[in-house]
Amino acid sequence: MRIGIPLETAAGETRFAATPETVKKYVAQGHQVTVQFHAGVAASLTDAAYQAAGAAMGSAADAFGAPLVLKVRAPSLEERSLLPSGTVVVGMLNPFDADNIAAMAGCGLTAFALEAAPRITRAQSMDVLSSQANIAGYKAVLLAANTYQRFMPMLMTAAGTVKAVRMLVMGVGVAGLQAIATAKRLGAVIEASDVRPPVKEQVESLGAKFIDVPFITDEEREIAQGVGGYARAMPADWMRRQAELVHERARLSDIIITTALIPGRRAPVLIGEETVKAMKPGSVIVDMAVEQGGNCPLSELGKTVTKHGVHIIGQPDLATLLAADASALYARNVLDFLKLIIDKDANLALNRDDEIVAATLLCHGGEVLRKWQQQ
């Protein structure tokens, strides 16, 4: 089957859905691959490397004209006009964007949103949320270190001793764990908070301290278990107790990385203005939840702002800042996902009884099959 991989045109998108490594594998499986001219350049992937891997280079129309199209972002209005009815599109197509899903259904596309895959063991090799969050957590620490005007590690020099940076991580999923691991390598002293009880052990195994917010009621304990590994919104009383504890820890912190998300909802506010005011001048906050409204109400999307002497970084899509590795890992996620929808003769084979296929299939045959509700 012919696979098309067009240039990503969304603002700020540097990643690409296939690398020469994955193209070589598609060709070995019997597919013909068309890569749009210069499409991988932002991720340092050259046309020559794709040609050496067996791809044909072509125009946007050639790439979008293939029966199977691999994308990072959902196709724009203009891109949809290049996609013939019946095309299969695979990418991070945003299951919350009901308008775009309806538009894709209207064009007769069969669209798979990889972010919608269930967090089960079999789906781990195609888990784009994890592959990209891992990169984002790493990059968040490097951005913070770059803005912070002091060393990260403790240093003993002839000119005196430099104290190690104190870092606080709020929300310890995939990104938070990588942030802790990265900061640890740079010599930081780290504390972390999460609602989910199993996180405590993971935090401690990385050499960081867990901030325990005790559960007072059975309801709190039950909600904190989350659903499918994801957090749920905690009751106001627990949030208040967490805020009090976090306020005290934040005052002593030099760097705070916030990653706390609740699927389908606005991100919880964890570092309020009063806490920012109490932080040391020159401290840094990286708000990784900025696109979902932010864990800090003072962060601004796409900007670094200084408020009350604290530098607050609101850069979205941190994985795009590491385009080469973000593309490499994303492309392998896509390669593994395609094994579920392509048979051994290199033809499309939709098994809608498969749990991962059913969860990721947004629309097919003009019908919207799945969209997630924003709450």
Query: What residues line the site for ligand NAD (CB under 6 A)?
Result: 119-121, 123-124, 127, 129-130, 133, 170-176, 193-196, 229-231, 234, 259-263, 268, 270
Among residues 29 and 125, whose Cβ is nearest to ligand NAD?
125
Query: Which residues make Cβ contacts (< 8 Å) with residue 361, sequence separation at least 6?
Result: 110, 111, 112, 350, 352, 369, 370
CB of 165 vs ligand NAD, minimal distance in Å: 21
Residue 347 CA to residue 34 CA, distance in Å, equals 17
Among residues 124 and 374, whose Cβ is nearest to ligand NAD?
124
CB of 35 vs ligand NAD, minimal distance in Å: 29
DSSP state of 222: H
Q: Is 36 a catalytic residue?
A: no
Among residues 65 and 173, whose Cβ is nearest to ligand NAD?
173
In this structure, the number of other CB atoms found within 10 A of the CB of residue 228 comes to: 8
CB of 374 vs ligand NAD, minimal distance in Å: 15
Provide the β-strand partners of residue 155. Answer: 162
List alpha helices for the chain, DSSP H. 20-28, 47-52, 60-64, 77-80, 98-106, 128-147, 174-185, 199-205, 218-224, 236-252, 273-278, 323-341, 355-360
Q: Is 194 a catalytic residue?
A: no
CB of 260 vs ligand NAD, minimal distance in Å: 3
Q: Is 193 a catalytic residue?
A: no
Whole-number Cα distances in Å, 17 to 53, 93, 301, 312, 325 = 15, 12, 25, 31, 12
Among residues 53 and 190, whose Cβ is nearest to ligand NAD?
190
Catalytic hit among 36, 62, 80, 130:
130
Among residues 36 and 242, whose Cβ is nearest to ligand NAD?
242
CB of 285 vs ligand NAD, minimal distance in Å: 15
Catalytic hit among 124, 149, 205, 225:
124
DSSP state of 370: -
Q: Is 148 a catalytic residue?
A: no
- From 226, 229, 17, select the one nearest 126 (Cα to Cα): 17
Catalytic hit among 230, 237, 240, 374:
230
Residue found under tokens 């609740």: 262
Q: Is 130 a catalytic residue?
A: yes
Which residue is nearest to ligand NAD, using beta carbons? 173
Catalytic hit among 44, 119, 122, 225:
119
Rg, Å, the chain Cα set:
22
Which active-site residues does the annotation give? 119, 124, 127, 130, 230
